[in-house]
Structure 1
Amino acid sequence: MKSILLIGQSNMAGRGFIEDVPPIYNEHISMLRNGRWQMMAEPLNVDRHVAGVGPAASFAQAWTEDHPGESIGLIPCAEGGSSIDEWTPDGILTRHAISEARFAMETSELVGILWHQGESDSYGGRYETYKEKVCSLFNHLRGELNAPEIPIIMGELGEYLGESGFGKSAVEYKQLNEVLADVARSEEHTYLVTSKGLTANPDGIHMNAISQRKFGLRYYEAFLNRTNVVDKVDQEDGWIERTTNRERTINEEIFAQTSGLVLGETSFEEFTAFISTMKAGN
């Protein structure tokens, strides 16, 4: 199995509203939770009780479409509200991410790192020292994980920042995006994904669920082609509908029905009727 490390702050963890997009059920996508690989379900990066949809699920779904029969695991280590100063080489968040990645590497091959962070550093001139700090982090991760050429994909901060809600304070997001572009130019195996056209939740700082699905596809395009993504990708159009209409395997259907039962969306009678149908079909 291949695996991907997810790091950064809340827009990597995900705050898109779960109910705004259809769920992704795929038995070839796992998430690392409590030391086990489990079939992915969102929220997958539960850093807060308000965690929701992030970019990783659509990234992973796109990966499986290009790798039929193969599996990918997601290693969630993003922390909402974290600044770049909390991602120092000896910092708790970095140490935790490295620990989780090493644990995952016992049963998978780490093939990429997804990074999205910077809203907490988009004011007060913090962008001026950002490049040095983020490059130090990336170099440290590659060294500690013995992966000098592993691709690190960075996402731009949303163009909606600086206008409303909690995002109103991020008045220097454009300067920080310029720093990210500079990192992508100067650092090998490091790529940048545009946030062009993506929109926010009503809080003005977190990408909404539909935008996160699109963002994940852009991350995957950069990962696949080892290049910066400067515009929307072709597969964004209609992707959610196509994925929703994908025929589920028996394991995926059982997982979905079990989730519905536990969440109170399906009655026990409906669930047992489904199981009986599955057994009859076999």
Structure 2
Amino acid sequence: MIHSFLMIGQSNMAGRGFLNDVPPIHDEKIKMLRNGRWQIMAEPINFDRPTSGISLAASFASSWRLFHNQEDDIALIPCADGGTSLDDWSVDGPLFQNAVFQAKAAQKISTLSGILWHQGENDSYGQNYKSYIEKLSLVIKILRDELNVPDIPLIVGGLGDFLKDGVYGEYFVEYNEVNEALMQFAKDHDHSYFVTAKGLTANSDNIHFDAVSLRKFGLRYFKAFEQKTDILGAVAGEEQMIKM
């Protein structure tokens, strides 16, 4: 049996961790969708830009494999796109429609078991946080409706505290408000769980999580999925995960 997971959001879901900063994860039973077929996972999984690299999805999948039937496969459906705002993910837009198309293709050859979301950096200014919950609620509702998975777990990740410290920090002055919106969204919606980015670190750009932190983030996403709860701090095993 194959359990698939949809990856959507912007660059920190696609992954910008440097490939040589962590050991690779090799497992023939972790797949990724390429051209309508499953291929053995290799990073970058979500190749949206030439700068794509390590993402949180690989350690999420590796953790899933440790705790589930060893005969089952897990598969990743990469649909994240860097630099996108929540408006770019509107239900009548190409990003949303592509995600639906890819997920439906995956449903023909797998069981869609979860949605992994990370987005918000591009909405961390101009008071966009005030409408964030309303907009995200519509995106997720229509996505679940289109895919006929009303109870599918959705994991949403928080933004990093490092955003304020970079050269472009002026564009992220409301990242705390976006984090609060993400947490509130998870509280207000069934089968939705928030994962904190507290303690995670960035590449030198102070925009993208580094490879080590993305390995840790994936473990937090998995714990939220497995325990059906918000994750508001570090979890056991994070340091070991980056050595796998």
Q: Same fold (TM over 0.5)?
A: yes
Deviation, 1:70, is 1.4
Deviation, 1:134, is 0.4
Name which of 182, 200, 203 aligns with 2:202.
Answer: 200
- 1:151 maps to what in 2? 153
Q: Output the amino acid matched with 1:104.
A: A
**Which structure 2 residue ranges, 5 or more long, are not aligned?**
none
Deviation, 1:144, is 0.3
Pairs aligned (count): 242
* Distance in 2 separating the partners of 1:142 and 1:80: 23
- 2:61 maps to what in 1? 60
Superposition RMSD in Å: 0.8
* Distance in 2 separating the partners of 1:66 and 1:191: 19
Task: Check conservation: 1:131, 1:179, Cα contact below 8 A.
Answer: yes
Indicate whether 1:169 and 2:184 are aligned.
Answer: no
Indicate whether 1:226 and 2:222 are aligned.
Answer: no
* Distance in 2 separating the partners of 1:165 and 1:2: 40
Change (3 A) 1:168 1:26: farther
Q: Deviations over 1:124-149 (max 9, x none)?
A: 11101111000000101110000000
Q: Which secondary structure does the structure 1 equivalent of 2:242 belong to?
A: helix
Deviation, 1:69, is 2.3
Deviation, 1:166, is 3.5
Question: Identity of paired residues, percent?
Answer: 52
Q: Deviations over 1:163-204 (max 9, x none)?
A: 113444211000000001110110111100010100000011
- 1:178 maps to what in 2? 180
* Distance in 2 separating the partners of 1:60 and 1:147: 20
Change (3 A) 1:208 1:167: farther
- 2:103 maps to what in 1? 101
Q: Which secondary structure does the structure 1 equivalent of 2:162 belong to?
A: coil
Q: Which secondary structure does the structure 2 equivalent of 1:112 belong to?
A: strand
Indicate whether 1:41 and 2:45 are aligned.
Answer: no
Kindly report which structure 2 residues correspond to 1:216-255, keeping only aligned pairs within 5 A, or say none. Answer: 216-241=218-243, 243=244
Task: Check conservation: 2:59, 2:241, Cα contact below 8 A.
Answer: no
Task: Check conservation: 2:100, 2:146, Cα contact below 8 A.
Answer: yes
Structure with the larger RCO, 1 or 2 (CA within 8 Å, 6+ apart):
2
Structure 1 segments of 4+ aligned residues over 2 angstroms from their partners: 165-168
- Higher-Rg structure is 1
Q: Output the amino acid matched with 2:129.
A: Y
Q: Deviations over 1:13-59 (max 9, x none)?
A: 00000010011110010000111100000001000111011100000
Task: Check conservation: 1:168, 1:204, Cα contact below 8 A.
Answer: no
- 2:10 maps to what in 1? 9
Task: Check conservation: 1:18, 1:52, Cα contact below 8 A.
Answer: yes
* Distance in 1 separating the partners of 2:211 and 2:169: 17
The TM-score normalised by the length of structure 2 is 0.98
Task: Check conservation: 1:20, 1:210, Cα contact below 8 A.
Answer: yes
Q: Which secondary structure does the structure 2 equivalent of 1:220 belong to?
A: helix
* Distance in 2 separating the partners of 1:85 and 1:45: 21
Q: Which secondary structure does the structure 2 equivalent of 1:178 belong to?
A: helix
**Which structure 1 residue ranges, 5 or more long, are not aligned?**
244-282
- 2:162 maps to what in 1? 160
Q: Which secondary structure does the structure 2 equivalent of 1:238 belong to?
A: helix
* Distance in 2 separating the partners of 1:25 and 1:196: 28
Moved more, 37-46 or 168-177: 168-177
- 2:121 maps to what in 1? 119
The TM-score normalised by the length of structure 1 is 0.85
* Distance in 2 separating the partners of 1:227 and 1:137: 21
* Distance in 1 separating the partners of 2:174 and 2:155: 21
